């Protein structure tokens, strides 16, 4: 499924439903997931209903549901050329992004 043209709220809704389905497929209750993830039951419930939760909580639940490998792809650099690789390696040492001057815009 291509998420490119989706609104953020639509993506959240889709991911929440997938999370719920994965839990049900594994025949786990929200309480079981919460206990194994070290989060509250309300956190799991909020996650499944699309309410704001902490990113670490999402990672913990993904680990319990066996989906952490999918998080590995999140925010990976897209390196399609040697120039991309060079820029990426240089950026690893950079601490701050320089502000662009108003004249350049």
Helices 30-37 and 41-49, interaxial angle, to 10°?
A: 120
- The reported pTM is 0.74
d(CA 105, CA 102) in angstroms, rounded, equals 6
11-64 per-position pLDDT tens digit: 999 999 999 999 999 999 999 999 999 999 999 999 999 999 999 999 999 999
For residues 64-93, average pLDDT = 86
């Amino acid at each position: 499924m291509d998420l490119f043209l989706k609104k953020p709220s639509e993506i959240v809704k889709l991911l929440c439903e997938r999370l719920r389905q994965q839990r049900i497929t594994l025949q786990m209750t929200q309480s079981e997931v919460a206990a194994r993830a070290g989060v509250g039951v309300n956190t799991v419930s909020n996650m499944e209903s699309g309410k704001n939760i902490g990113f670490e909580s999402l990672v913990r639940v993904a680990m319990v549901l066996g989906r952490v490998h999918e998080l590995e792809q999140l925010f990976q650099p897209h390196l399609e050329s040697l120039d991309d690789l060079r820029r990426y390696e240089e950026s690893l040492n950079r601490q701050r992004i320089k502000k662009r001057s108003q004249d350049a815009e």
